[in-house]
Structure 1
């Protein structure tokens, strides 16, 4: 029998569980939509490779603008819980728009804007979780790591499920399921997440340039940007390459992405454990070398079994850069943790922004195979940049 005192003591655990569930369902919503978007635009909207790439670029740009505007507002005076709830509702509306509309113009103008709000729910949720952890005395770094693991788990499940739904029931059913995932997030946020209103305005510091190690920080920025750009080009192009050039089942693309995401979880955990013992530069060099092997393999391997086996190098590549990239920026920029974190985050954003145009243009002019040649070149340049960085 629950007494009020027992219930009150259990409330923080209930809220912590709610954060994990919101992280998982928001991850599922994204994992259902992103891997299949290029196939949807090509097969359902009949967009050319160039227009597919342009769509990804506009989508990334909309996400950057929306997230920056909402981040500034929420840090100063906004109620994050209300903001997350609104973003989930708009994300659900965006998914339903993709389910029922086949107008490229409408989707690239309105759909990308709604999707930008949907993706912004995630960083706002992490910010609210940090504030909640600080207030309740939880260990913030571990709580954040567990939340990130939920998103990785969602990417293990989401892509195979997305392609299975798209092939078996159509894209309308798949996007409807994404809308349901956003709706589940909205309900969890409304009923279970804590409200933490701002009591006073907070001054937002502008992004500062590195005070030390500027050359090495610039090289690291270029290296990480190229890494994320190559990964984004791969995610955009791979489903189309699997279906149109290799003539393989669409479900294989989802299985490849899901397998890579599953392998990334132990890679990130192991890298996090050994980051303090081994050089982060060395771990990132291993990441870049794995990327070279992975993209070289995509140029020559065509069998489903070998393509799945190749995901080990993909997971090693992404898992290591995700686990150690931000920490290395912070090492190179002592006393500027916020600026270093923002720089690392921006490498992913810039990578997605550039990848849409590069992958779309290359696929339009020279075919999907040429995109993997470009990603291989990016990985090789990345390895060269990392080899030129000195120890901080």
Structure 2
């Protein structure tokens, strides 16, 4: 029972840590260090690149030892160190260096937790349920961070991040103690269950998820601008739409976890892609708040299918739960990088701003095609 409480508690604390930092980071750099737009862009790019590299190197090293909780403790310590450096320094160069050296590995808590769960024999349903807890953190984290910044300034949220990181380290230490006394699970999913899929099929799935993640990153980044400039609605409606989508993601993820035992990964991903295609095409045509809010149901289901099914899928097709989880998390990072060109190219079409969401629908179609093709290649490989 203690172990069952510790897993969601640990997931919530690690989720809150990133949910506090990432949305507020641009404001922190501009307010505390007077970063220009160009400097901000480079700082965020270097920070994200550090995270991308760390999420491949650190979890893969943890795969060799089978210990994912000790690196989580190190990540928590680095989070505290990063927060303290950002509070104490007034130099933008020092802040950026800290983001590169400390920030990348500091953000690996959730990645390592999912790898630990897979290594310990957690079922796909349990992993998706834990992913839903991280989504809960993202529902509450950004508004709480905004409240802290409004009350205590930008440095105030850094102290809160350090506190949450310390609590996360405590929960991780208790989880490690609980795991040592837990009954070992023979089939931890680290051996053999990835061997039936060819490298070409795995590459296709990785490409597919980069495209699928890019659509969500694009829509999330541009929705506020679209609502205020294209639809000429109050910015409040953008916040409501994003909040409704985030709130619906949690029950959608829980439902995906339950359906995973009854339907194939391919079927669930296809349903998410179809929902996403419908969402982006409808979003390109909405003009009033009512439909904008209503279609967030499609958005939430699309995200849940990609985020929930995708995580367990990667852990099955790639050897090593750490590397598999890191690869999945990086599809989100690379997708976010692609969102910039998608916005630029989509907006330059004759459709204007709605063209961005039509481009997202097209990327969904490509991602769906790549996923189905990977499934066909994988099935042919197993039949030989």
SS of residue paired to 1:34: helix
Correspondence list, 1:81-230, <5 A = 81-98=69-86, 105-129=93-117, 143-166=126-149, 170-190=153-173, 193-194=176-177, 212=197, 216-230=201-215
CA distance in 1, matches of 2:222, 2:154: 18
Deviations 1:194-221 (A, max 9, x none): 1879xxxxxxx99999765665544433
| Greater displacement, 352-361 / 285-294 | 352-361
CA distance in 2, matches of 1:192, 1:277: 30
Could you tell me which residue of structure 2 aligns to residue 352 of structure 1?
A: 333
TM-score by length of 1: 0.72
Q: Report the Cα offset of residue 21 of structure 1.
A: 1.5
Could you tell me which residue of structure 2 aligns to residue 309 of structure 1?
A: 294
| Greater displacement, 226-235 / 90-99 | 90-99
Figure out how many residues of one structure are paired with residues of the other and give that number.
363
TM-score by length of 2: 0.73
Deviations 1:78-123 (A, max 9, x none): 8654432221121133245556667654444322432222221223
Q: 1:193 to 1:319 in 2, by over 3 A?
A: same
Could you tell me which residue of structure 1 aligns to residue 303 of structure 2?
A: 318
Q: 1:388 to 1:147 in 2, by over 3 A?
A: closer
Listed as ranges, the gaps of 5+ residues in structure 1 are 1-12, 198-204
| Greater displacement, 265-274 / 166-175 | 166-175
Could you tell me which residue of structure 2 aligns to residue 17 of structure 1?
A: 5
CA distance in 1, matches of 2:67, 2:285: 51
Q: Please tell me whether residue 338 in structure 1 is matched to residue 319 in structure 2.
A: yes
CA distance in 1, matches of 2:262, 2:256: 10
Q: Report the Cα offset of residue 39 of structure 1.
A: 5.8
Whether the aligned pair in 1 keeps the contact of 2:117 and 2:127 (CA below 8 Å) is: yes
Whether the aligned pair in 2 keeps the contact of 1:35 and 1:254 (CA below 8 Å) is: no
Q: Report the Cα offset of residue 315 of structure 1.
A: 0.9
Deviations 1:4-58 (A, max 9, x none): xxxxxxxxx334423321211111111222344456667775543x765554443
Whether the aligned pair in 2 keeps the contact of 1:271 and 1:320 (CA below 8 Å) is: yes
SS of residue paired to 2:277: helix
Q: 1:376 to 1:142 in 2, by over 3 A?
A: closer
Q: 1:289 to 1:107 in 2, by over 3 A?
A: farther
Q: 1:108 to 1:206 in 2, by over 3 A?
A: farther
Q: Report the Cα offset of residue 316 of structure 1.
A: 0.9
Q: 1:277 to 1:82 in 2, by over 3 A?
A: closer
SS of residue paired to 2:46: helix
Q: Report the Cα offset of residue 284 of structure 1.
A: 1.8
Q: Please tell me whether residue 382 in structure 1 is matched to residue 367 in structure 2.
A: yes
CA distance in 2, matches of 1:217, 1:127: 18
Whether the aligned pair in 1 keeps the contact of 2:51 and 2:103 (CA below 8 Å) is: yes
Q: Report the Cα offset of residue 322 of structure 1.
A: 2.2
Aligned counterpart in structure 2 of residue 282 of structure 1, from 267, 273, 288: 267
